[in-house]
Amino acid sequence: METQRQKKIGGIIQKDIVDILQRAAIDGGLKGILISVTKVNVTTDLSIAKVYLSIFPNKDAKKLMEGIQSNQPLIKHELAQRTRHQLRRVPELLFFLDDSLDYIENIEESLKGGENPIENRDLLEKRKKS
């Protein structure tokens, strides 16, 4: 169960990280890439923030995540500058790719694409009668 303080710090981090990453992508000449922070989980001791990112289009996601992870100290420094009046200590940032949107999209696509097990019973594994 997250405390009010964890949620507040998570919210502050989420707002600023989006800004930092979006600006870095634009400055790096990456036009048309959308980076969003889907959620931030802060540990109870406020020392670690797990930052979940959604990157669109997805084909660039892996390469972009590697860049973000290798620039973690710079991102943390930038975050510290922005939040110096709100946070005493900026937590360690851990970045993860949130692929839940792709997962949902794949489900929707397979349902549209005739792979609907409700309409096509052959897609379901046959259950043995016991």
Please give the Cα distance from 92 to 105 (Å, whole number).
31
Q: Which of 19, 20, 53 is nearest to 38 (CA)?
A: 53
- Domains in the chain, please, with CATH? 4-119 (3.30.300.20)
CB-based burial label for 121 (10 Å; 0-12, 13-18, 19+): exposed
User: What pLDDT is stored for residue 98 in this prediction?
Assistant: 87
User: Using 50, 70 and 90 to split pLDDT, how confident is the model at 115?
Assistant: low
Q: Which of 127, 64, 80, 13 is nearest to 5 (CA)?
A: 13
pLDDT average, residue stretch 2-14: 92
For residues 86 and 10, the answer to whether their CB atoms sit within 8 Å is: no
Please give the Cα distance from 48 to 87 (Å, whole number).
13
Predicted TM-score of the model (pTM): 0.75
pLDDT tens string 20-79: 998 888 888 777 888 889 999 999 999 999 999 988 887 878 888 998 999 999 999 999
User: What pLDDT is stored for residue 122 in this prediction?
Assistant: 64
